[in-house]
Amino acid sequence: MASHRKSRTPGTRVAGIRTPALATAALTSVALLSQTADAAPGDDRPSLEEVEKKVGDLYRQAESATEKYNAAKEKTTKQRKRVDTLLDDVAQRTQKLNEARAELGSYAAAQYRTGAGMPDTATFLLAETPQDVFDQRQVLDRMTGRQKAAVDDYVTQQTETMKKRQEATESLRTLTETQGDLKTAKATVQKKLADARELLSKLTAEEKARLAAIEKRKQEEAARKAAELARQQAAQEQAREEAAQQSGGTSESSGSGSTGSADTPPADSSYAAKAEKALAFARAQIGKPYVWGATGPGSYDCSGLTQAAWNAAGVSLPRTTYDQVNAGTTVPVSQAQPGDLVFFYDDVTHVGIYIGNGMMIHAPKPGTYVREESIYYDGDSAIHSIVRPA
């Protein structure tokens, strides 16, 4: 994923001295001229840095829309099941209502044949609502026990059928709304990805090479930070073991190279066993393509991968990053252990599964494949939180 740099604040420092506004403008002009030196006169194309930022923003927006799509899809699936269940219930109750109506009809026909005038039970067949039935109290007084039982059954079936029909109608309305949300999110994802592809398609071969060089430098910096975190975690683990030895206790290492604190103790052996299963699954998916909205087995999006990995360990995670971030205990980055979930960005739209030494397995973005990568792949500030899910 491309970097999302913050725009530089006005003013520039040269040799530690803040330059005047005029000098800043001049330096900016020189920088822009150098970036577009090979462009044709009058070419107003954006700089390579601007393209990189824009593409990165579009991918992030697409990922955000993907998580909304995932949430809407999950809600739609649940709502559709509820509607189907309610409609089945309505059909069954309607059948019972018809049977109750037929029984009342048999009583009404018998009364008619004996010349009893307007049959008592026929009054209830003309009633449109259960309340209409209860309003005929004087008729109920003239009925036999079997007739009253038939009326009670008819009223019960009519009441429940009307109630279920109302629930089904409301559920159908909700289903229509969630299907609309699903359609909107899908269209947003497709639009953002199309815009990103269009921007990239306008780059020259030289620009694409320069963009690849920028990405390589970013990866190298991310790898350096991951190694630094690994050293920090190893030092903390050693300090914890030495402290345990001095106190006469024993130290149980989880093999993660991290340590706990009074507020966040190290994960126990039970967690380590589950994490090992989750990581084994995640590693087996390396090389499979990122496909937005996918949950496997042939392709994944970011939250689809983490959900499937932990499911393989017997732990059920929610579908979206928005819910997964609340499905566990938050721990500091320095105390991350294998199996922990690493969330990114203020809007929590990306997630990977930590494997130790500052590295993770994740499904990055469209056009890429599940891979191992530094948790600093998009800079320090991109990391939102670390969550231990089990």
Q: Which of 302, 305, 355, 390 is catalytic?
A: 302
Active site residue 272: no
Active site residue 362: yes
Active site residue 4: no
Q: Which of 53, 68, 93, 350 is catalytic?
A: 350
Residue 288's CB: how many other CB atoms inside 10 A? 18
Per-residue three-class SS string for the chain: CCCCCCCCCCCCEECCEECCHHHHHHHHHHHHHHHCCCCCCCCCCCCHHHHHHHHHHHHHHHHHHHHHHHHHHHHHHHHHHHHHHHHHHHHHHHHHHHHHHHHHHHHHHHHHHCCCCCCHHHHHHCCCCHHHHHCCHHHHCCCCHHHHHHHHHHHHHHHHHHHHHHHHHHHHHHHHHHHHHHHHHHHHHHHHHHHHHHHHHCCCHHHHHHHHHHHHHHHHHHHHHHHHHHHHHHHHHHHHHHHHHHCCCCCCCCCCCCCCCCCCCCCCHHHHHHHHHHHHHHHHCCCCEECCCCECCCCECHHHHHHHHHHHCCCCCCCCHHHHCCCCEEECHHHCCCCCEEEECCCCCEEEEEEECCEEEECCCCCCECEEEECCCCCHHHEEEEEECC
Q: Which of 68, 164, 362, 388 is catalytic?
A: 362
Catalytic residues: 302, 350, 362
